[in-house]
Structure 1
Amino acid sequence: MLTLKRAKIIEIRSERPGYIEVLVDVDGNRHKAICYSALVGDVRQGDDVIVNTTAVDLDLGTGGYHFILCNLSKDSVTSAGDGHIMKLRYTPLQIKCLAAEEENSPYHKTLKDVTSIESMPVIVGTLHSQLPAAAVMVKELLPTAKIAYIMTDGAALPLAFSRLVAELKSAGSIDVTITAGHAFGGDMEAINIFSALAAAKYAAQADVAIVSMGPGIVGSNTRLGFTGMEQGQVINAVNGLKGVPVAIPRISFADKRERHVGISHHTITALTIAAVSRSILTIPEMDRGKANTVNDQIVKERLDQTHTVVQISAGAVISVLKSKNILPTTMGRTLDQDPEFFMAAGAAGIYAANVLLGGK
């Protein structure tokens, strides 16, 4: 069940394309709320709105935000565009999109018969916070490389929710965004991960793609119940399209949860169960104790037999991110608090750049 309440907007806090953050009065109490203009249209101070309070009521990890469902101060909202592909299908908020592959798209003829992405390197992550290190390191080694970020529908669905993507695009660290499945709001829309990869290669003319979900991975403390399982499925898609999948391992020595220490069980499960084809698994060089822990896991889980494990010198990743003032966090931890996490993502970017440069 969802919880809906009437509210009044008392302050506009910030805006970026597709995203408006406001302060609302709900039953005499002030709360943060988010409006996606693609779904609701614009809102202004004084508007009466309906907000979805479900996640905050359950104390879930949404940052304490309500979400505006509709604006009672407007008689109607009309979505612009010529698309005929529906996302959020058969829900009250279904939205029409112009998918890159549909007949009305200028890319339809280009994508119509595509079955290969011709050895394009594709970096495959699980957490949204892996995106910046991977992208920045590709650009650090190959500034002319064109990077497409493909956001899946494994977590947040509106791309506009990601402040990180806005910052990376502004900095030139990613060049084009593609939202796949029910995710929406990218520079290009795609129906599924296969067509998103094709769009990255031939419509966006990207040199490398980075695939990961948006903010807010879903987990359950079970072996299979987490949306990061999609990493294995994306690897299969990349191989099916004759690309080069480069898997980012989720590595941490700062996480207090045993299942995420060293190589996270998320990576192990995705690569041993969901992935039924090989990937390049890039492991950053670390100090001896941490490296031994990771290597023991690789051997125990036979990752070196089912995937190609490559050690990468990634010690510069943290300093490069800092030099560009790109300061991501993961689960609230900074670059200095969880360096191996970001080094692992950067290592995948280094490998992909070297593929483009003709080496490995």
Structure 2
Amino acid sequence: MEGNQGPLVRLRPGKVLRIITSRPGLVEAAVLVEGREEKAVGYTAFTGELRPGDAVLLNTTAVAKGLGSGGYHFVVANLTRPELDAPAAGHIIKLRYTPAQIKVLAVEEPESSHHEKLRETENLGGTPVVALELHSQLAPVAAAVWQKGRGRLRLVYVMTDGAALPLPFSRTAGELKEKGVLAATVTVGHAFGGDFEAVNVYSGLLAAKHAAGADVIVVGMGPGVVGTGTRFGTTAIEQGEVVNAAHVLGGRPVAALRLSFADLRPRHRGVSHHTITALGRVALAPATVAVPVLAPERAEVVWEQLEQAGIAQRHRLVTVDATSVFSALDELGLQVSTMGRGLDMDPEFFLAAGAAGLVAAEFALAEP
């Protein structure tokens, strides 16, 4: 039997040397650890304020393993000022039964001012819901909705627990919120740190609509998708589950294709195999799938993949000229990348995401 015996985490003491930068809920600091200066992220929900000279306990697991945490350690506790007190309101625990468990006021619970509304409603009333596969699709979707709606559509981001759990870790979400492109955020499952906290994707969708007042909802994980090179061993398949949830609640699911002709891995060329699994196997309800206008030879590859996977038969495919997303991103001053590739290297990726945003915005604008 394969088992995980013994410690599952690598911990080391450290010292804060200086604060590099901060944004709401997160501090990036230079720390001294094992005789070297390295970078660490601290979440104020766990550590309180961090100051130069503070003794800290660091989780160094990902950096030691060479995993994709951006080269950051994470501050487990501030040993200089270890005492913290959570607000009185709220009874829902996230990261349950772990040393990191936190208490939040969930939008569904009786103490919430939105409890009665959410108890009474079970319908999204046709609100478009964009289902993402990767966090890097969020910015082009949001930019397209902003441009198409001329800033008049309230876009709410529902972040799942398929990748990074703290919403403050997402620079993209923070920047979109700061620029007024995102009206609000909802963190669901064990994800936390949004304007609203929800227990699961279903109640999170309802909160986005009836607590945050969404005209368009975009749902997806934070940074750091998990993949194993197998068909079902990835958190990306949650895209299909989001389609199902939106359908159950009377929303209009719109799926963003993950497209690339720059990714050197054959399984991600054209339509990613994760998208094919999510929309071809996991999604049991129909969605509108936005297919961007592409060069003829690349369009032929994409349409053949969608036909062979049964996606063309299961869902409603629409062709969209999404080139306007490039000007939208530029106008908003958003620098985007996916897997280290920017607009110039991987334009089809951002076109596909932008196409989904344009379709969702069009649906919202057509509502009476």
Q: Give the alignment's TM-score, normalised by structure 1.
A: 0.98
- Does 1:39 pair with 2:23? no
* Residue deviations 1:148-185 (CA, integer Å, cap 9, x gap): 00000000000000111111111111110000000000
Alpha-carbon distance in 2 for matches of 1:261, 1:347: 18
Alpha-carbon distance in 2 for matches of 1:178, 1:349: 18
* Residue deviations 1:21-46 (CA, integer Å, cap 9, x gap): 00111121111000001122111100
Letter in 2 for 1:328: V
- Does 1:283 pair with 2:291? yes
Alpha-carbon distance in 2 for matches of 1:294, 1:225: 23
Q: Which of the numbers 53, 56, 60 marks the counterpart of 1:53?
A: 60
Alpha-carbon distance in 1 for matches of 2:195, 2:302: 38
Deviates more, 1:314-323 or 1:288-297: 314-323
2:215 aligns to what?
Answer: 207
Q: Which aligned pairs between 1:52-201 and structure 2 lie closer than 5 A?
A: 52-142=59-149, 143-201=151-209
Alpha-carbon distance in 2 for matches of 1:161, 1:70: 17
Specify the SS of the correspondent of 2:133: coil
Alpha-carbon distance in 2 for matches of 1:145, 1:134: 13
Specify the SS of the correspondent of 2:120: coil
1:262 aligns to what?
Answer: 270
Alpha-carbon distance in 1 for matches of 2:76, 2:82: 14
**For the Cα contact (< 8 Å) 2:27–2:43, is it kept in 1?**
yes
Where structure 2 has 5 or more consecutive residues not aligned to the other structure, the ranges are 1-7
1:352 aligns to what?
Answer: 360
Letter in 1 for 2:241: Q
**For the Cα contact (< 8 Å) 1:8–1:26, is it kept in 2?**
yes
% identical equivalent positions? 48
**For the Cα contact (< 8 Å) 1:180–1:190, is it kept in 2?**
yes
Alpha-carbon distance in 1 for matches of 2:331, 2:106: 37
Deviates more, 1:164-173 or 1:153-162: 164-173
* Alpha carbons of structure 1 residues 261 and 81: separation in structure 2 relative to 1, 3 Å: farther
**Post-superposition offset of 1:11:** 1.0
Letter in 1 for 2:188: A
Alpha-carbon distance in 1 for matches of 2:245, 2:73: 35
Specify the SS of the correspondent of 1:13: strand
- Does 1:223 pair with 2:231? yes
Alpha-carbon distance in 1 for matches of 2:291, 2:14: 49
**Post-superposition offset of 1:341:** 0.4
Specify the SS of the correspondent of 1:112: helix
**For the Cα contact (< 8 Å) 1:81–1:97, is it kept in 2?**
no
**For the Cα contact (< 8 Å) 1:133–1:345, is it kept in 2?**
yes
Letter in 2 for 1:12: I
Alpha-carbon distance in 2 for matches of 1:77, 1:324: 38
**For the Cα contact (< 8 Å) 1:13–1:23, is it kept in 2?**
yes
2:303 aligns to what?
Answer: 295
Alpha-carbon distance in 2 for matches of 1:331, 1:80: 38
2:26 aligns to what?
Answer: 19
* Alpha carbons of structure 1 residues 351 and 78: separation in structure 2 relative to 1, 3 Å: same
* Residue deviations 1:89-111 (CA, integer Å, cap 9, x gap): 11001000011110000000010
Specify the SS of the correspondent of 1:30: strand
**For the Cα contact (< 8 Å) 1:126–1:213, is it kept in 2?**
yes
Specify the SS of the correspondent of 2:209: helix
Alpha-carbon distance in 2 for matches of 1:8, 1:35: 12
Specify the SS of the correspondent of 1:232: helix
Please report the RMSD computed on the Cα atoms of aligned residues, expressed in angstroms: 0.9
- Does 1:249 pair with 2:257? yes
* Residue deviations 1:228-285 (CA, integer Å, cap 9, x gap): 1100011100000011000001000111111001000010001112111111110000
Alpha-carbon distance in 2 for matches of 1:237, 1:117: 11
Specify the SS of the correspondent of 1:351: helix
Letter in 2 for 1:45: P
**Post-superposition offset of 1:81:** 4.9
Alpha-carbon distance in 2 for matches of 1:81, 1:346: 42
* Residue deviations 1:114-136 (CA, integer Å, cap 9, x gap): 21111100000011110011111
1:321 aligns to what?
Answer: 329
Alpha-carbon distance in 2 for matches of 1:327, 1:156: 20
Specify the SS of the correspondent of 2:165: coil
Alpha-carbon distance in 1 for matches of 2:328, 2:50: 39
**For the Cα contact (< 8 Å) 2:47–2:82, is it kept in 1?**
no
Alpha-carbon distance in 1 for matches of 2:334, 2:218: 17
